[in-house]
Amino acid sequence: MTGRSALPKLCKFLKVVALILFLTLLVLFLVATVRTFTLEVNAELQHARWGKTASVPADLSAAHSEVLLANFKEAIRIPTVSFSDSHQNTSALQEFSHLLKRVFPTIFSSSLVKHEVVENYSHLFTVSGTDPELVPYMLLAHIDVVPASENDGWELPPFSAEELNGFIYGRGTIDNKQAVMGILQALEYLLERGYVPRRGFYVGLGHDEEISGNAGAANIVKLLKSRGVKLQFLVDEGLAVLDGIINGLNGPAALIGVTEKGQATVKLSVSMKPGHSSMPPRQSSIGILAAAVTRLEDYPMPRLFGSGPERSTFEHLAHKFGLPFRFVMSNLWLFIPLMSRVMERKPDMNAFVRTTTAVTMFNSGVKVNILPSSAEAFVNLRIHSAQTLQEVMELIESTISDDRVKVNLISGFDPLPVSSFGEQSFGFQIIKKTILDMFPEVTVAPE
């Protein structure tokens, strides 16, 4: 009798629970729907703040454009290659310095501009402003490039700067001589027309960025610090205007990088007694190390999507997607777990989700019938902004969980702090407004 009398009460309770769940889901759906169709009118997301930027100059003459194009091609043809910390093409770096002085004469002769050479090949330009109360900003780019050979799959020689189908081919065209020449050409153009800025600024051109910048950028920083320089904001090489790259996105998008992932290079090594292949042990040094590498690939770093600026990236772009993507991206507060699982399936999207792990080198063995006494692998990790280098190292150790495998950090650094990108962020809004003035059809988002 007791069991029977309790059954109606249980059924009633379950009905109440089901009703509460239904109402909760209904409220969540209504909130998500309202957010989906109102997010695009949010001024903080879609409009740039703080005044007007200078008007876009009239089109350059065809003759002037040809000169600029020729200067850029000449810059690409100079092989300013950084091979390693101890090996750079210094003669090419010197040649590049001569090129800058020749094609930008106004910059090097202007009374507004102070030019300094740092560590023989880097350049620091100080441009004076009329209002010393305004905190200056800084523009950065780098002169050096990574090695390239025609055997790397280039359709045209990598230092030829030849044109094909409307594109200029060459090492440095997008990393980073386009910024070097673009910044200086803009300054040259303005100075020729009597430009005097209210807010002073700096231009820094490093010569060894591809090998960590310890000589160029690091010493520019030391120099500015010694002078007590404070910056309002700083713009370095970053992302691009993407069109047709993001599936489902209607129209182009300009992504402004507001942080940089951390990085770690980790060496895994195993040491054993050497032996002969005719009497192999149960596990060789290669087998032990291979198992460790397999564990790192089978158990990737935890999902962290939504813990960094990537959530705002998709919220800024949400209104440019059609349904159902728009519904999901406008409501990441609800759909982050779903988005994380979908995105991690593609390598380019997986980089948004977590710290990535890439095994890039594996070395062992000297002869087919000799058991190697040692094996080593190198792993490169790009650390998500919500993690630290120390956390990553601890996760590597716990994932491998094998005392026979030594884990050594070769080099690494924490992710950079996330720069502000809200409505009151002066630097971000100035960059955003400049982009929208130049490309009014794009959608701007932090990344």
List, in sequence order, every beta strand (DSSP E) within 186-289: 201-206, 234-235, 241-242, 253-256, 262-271, 275-276
Task: Say if residue 176 is preceded by a cis peptide, omega within 30 of 0.
Answer: yes
Provide the 10 A C-beta neighbour count for residue 176: 22
Which tokens belong to 422? 């809200």
Relative to beta strand 201-206, strand 137-142 is parallel
Q: What is the rounded CA–CA span in Å between residue 300 and residue 208?
A: 32
| Whether 266 contacts 396, CB under 8 Å | yes
Please classify residue 87 by burial: count the beta carbons closer than 10 Å to its beta carbon, then call 0-12 exposed, 13-18 middle and 19+ buried: exposed
Overall residue count recorded for the chain in this entry: 447
Which element (helix H / strand E) includes 142?
A: strand 137-142
Q: What torsion, rounded to 10 degrees, do the Cα atoms 17, 20, 24, 25 define?
A: 60
- Catalytic residue ranges: 144, 209
Q: What is the rounded CA–CA span in Å between residue 91 and residue 121?
A: 10
